[in-house]
Amino acid sequence: TYYPLTGMSKEVQQKLIDDHFLFKEGDRFLQAANACRYWPAGRGIYHNDNKTFLVWVNEEDHLRIISMQMGGDLGQVFRRLTSAVNEIEKRIPFSHHDRLGFLTFCPTNLGTTVRASVHIKLPKLAANREKLEEVAGKYNLQVRGTRGEHTEAEGGIYDISNKRRMGLTEFQAVKEIQDGILELIKMEKEM
């Protein structure tokens, strides 16, 4: 089902944002890049009933395709994403460059465009944010706040994701996050 932002009540919009299902207006970086013109026209979200598959329309990219769920089954999340992307691509070709990979609004997403992330609580490692960042960096991981880039952790929960999107396959990007997260969990338990 598609839910356009135009006409969406503020309460529904805020609930979707609070539940991490919807983007919000006013990101200063997107505004500086002139990506928020005509807000909220032409923007919205598709999602399935379980909210495990979503497509953000015109937030930053034309389409941001998201597969997510509670728990640690990255394989199921990745299979759902792959299946959906293949179905979408049958109808709409994605912009692709032979050298740069898939083209996106944000240059850091060039290549596979895959940002696999896990929300995780690592209280011992996170007691020293610099140390957490250092350890994550060794595994090509990025540490973000609970609501993504430029936000703080809420309740000690961090968004850990792969840094690299170029020079590897989509599967390798997801494998990199899985291997890194497993190592972070191991380190947390050993502390």
Q: What are the binding residues? A: 20, 64, 115-119, 144-149
Binding residues for ATP: 20, 64, 115-119, 144-149
CA triple 141-102-99, angle to 5 deg: 95
Using N-to-C axis directions, what is the helix angle for 74-91 and 170-190, rounded to 10°? 160
- Could you give the CA distance from residue 36 to residue 48 in angstroms, rounded to a whole number? 26
Whether 136 contacts 142, CB under 8 Å: yes
Taking the CB of residue 183, how many other CB atoms lie within 10 A of it? Answer: 15
E-state strands within 12-110: 44-47, 53-57, 63-67, 96-97, 101-102
At 77, the amino acid letter reads V
- Could you give the CA distance from residue 125 to residue 8 in angstroms, rounded to a whole number? 40
